[in-house]
Amino acid sequence: MLHNCENDYLKKRHIRPEPQIEWGQYFSEVGVNSLNDISDGLSRELNEIAAASNVVIQIDSTKIPISKETCEISEKLGKNSLELALDGGEDYELVGTASKEIWEKIKLKKGITAIGTVKKGIKSSVEILHKGKIKKVAAKGYDHFIKNDLYK
């Protein structure tokens, strides 16, 4: 999708992603429960966290940070920006979970956004609240072992 992209911001984030090392170290120091980079897609990484912890993660579509550049290219390509945010990747941003106590410590730091909650469940899953409805989020994004059409 970004092969012929004219947007330098998106091209740079795709071709030369910046690992969030300092954030990762900080989150480790404060005791964040889980942490993944979203280079293979937010939906895939959230599903990995949910499965590893045997929990249900519910995210709110209105809280997912989506750059204006992503919205612009989505519109230009006739794609859904939320779908790109969930299933795209390559930018090395981080997603994780934290207890309420840890969240109180970190929530005021610039650059951190709460996009959902974690709850106990019978079976692990990821759900999204979108336009008043809750639906399951499949683990899409990039899978190193299958053909990935999202990136064409």
Which residues contact residue 35 at a Cβ distance below 8 angstroms, ignoring those fewer than 6 apart?
24, 27, 28, 94, 95, 96
Query: Rounded CA gap, 80 and 115, in Å?
Result: 18
- pLDDT for residue 137: 97
d(CA 143, CA 134): 25
Specify the CATH superfamily of domain 5-137. Answer: PurM-like C-terminal domain (3.90.650.10)
Residue 144 has a pLDDT of: 61
Reported pTM: 0.84
Q: In which order are the strands placed within the sheet that holds 125-130?
A: 116-120, 55-60, 125-130, 133-136
pLDDT (0 to 100) of residue 152: 43
Nearest to 64 by CA among 119, 19, 115: 115
Asked whether the predicted pLDDT for residue 131 surpasses 60, the reply is yes
Copy the structure tokens of residue 53. Answer: 């912890």
Q: What is the mean pLDDT of residues 127-135?
A: 97
pLDDT at 52: 95
How do residues 10-61 score in pLDDT, each as one tens digit? 767 767 778 899 999 999 999 999 999 998 899 999 999 999 999 999 999 9
Local confidence band at 150 (pLDDT 50, 70, 90 cut-offs): very low
Mean pLDDT of 118-136: 95
Domain boundaries, the chain: 5-137
pLDDT of 102-125, one tens digit each?
999 999 999 999 999 999 988 999
Q: Average pLDDT, stretch 69-87? A: 89
Are the beta carbons of 106 and 30 closer than 8 angstroms? yes
